[in-house]
Amino acid sequence: MKLANCLSTLAIALALGLLASNLDAAEKRAVTDVDSGILTQELQRVSNDEGIVVAWWMPAEFWAVALGNEKSLTPAQMEEVMKILRQYTFIAVVDGQVGGAAIDFQDRAAVAKSLTVEVVDAAGKARKVVPLEPAPDDVQPLLTTLVPAMGAAMGNLGRNLHFFVFKDQVEDVRLFSPFDPGAVVVKLSGREARQAISLSIDRPVDSLLVPRLCSNGKPAHVSWNFCPWDGKKLP
């Protein structure tokens, strides 16, 4: 199967699926053990103030989970796709404002003009990152299939979900690691009848890590240092 076909298969599978601090102590989950629904929720932020704004971060681990559920790809084909996707991170944005009886969605050019993305580290220091425009040729097959697939799966919202690609690997260092403490912050400048919006997606991403257990057997969020039920310090 050609690489373009592999990426197209991944995009369709993803769209159909939509229908249906104390980090040192945390262990990464196996890809097959990650709940894709919970992961998607953790990677999305939504604002419903005077319309709808969605920010959806898609790091390489997101695609690995999506590929892991795709039975039509061989391990070799999966690795071929992931070799490309590990170089990048994706952020998808919807910007819709209430206008009369309908929602006025911004097109991709307007979203790109108003978009600012920052990667915040554990110390709170923000680094502004700029999308690759145009998107690299090696991810174009994915985007070409993903956009109409999202429209078919999510209707008007999916048709107005605009994808932006960012370099993730710089001198063998990741900018967007979902395992590092901090956040990915997506900002949209103000529109005529709306103030600027800032949506923060927390890191590390809890569902990608094996949870520590409190003494009562309940899982502890990765950001917790103490169990809320008994106040005991977590390992």
Per-residue model confidence (pLDDT) at position 230:
76
Please state the domain extents for the chain.
3-210
The CB density around residue 140, as the number of other CB atoms within 10 Å, is 14
Most confident of 59-68, 74-83, 185-194, 196-205: 196-205
Q: Are 43 and 58 in contact (CB under 8 A)?
A: yes
Residues of the chain by 3-state class (helix, strand, coil), percent to 5: 35, 30, 35
Please report, in angstroms and rounded to a whole number, the separation of the first and last CA atoms in the chain.
46
The model's pLDDT over 11-44, given as tens digits with 9 standing for 90+, comes to 544 544 443 334 444 688 888 889 989 999 999 9
Average pLDDT, the chain: 83
Length of the chain: 235
Q: Are 10 and 67 in contact (CB under 8 A)?
A: yes
Which is more confident, 49 or 185?
185
201 bridge partner residues: 184
The model's pLDDT over 148-205, given as tens digits with 9 standing for 90+, comes to 787 777 788 888 999 999 999 888 889 999 999 999 999 998 776 678 899 999 999 9
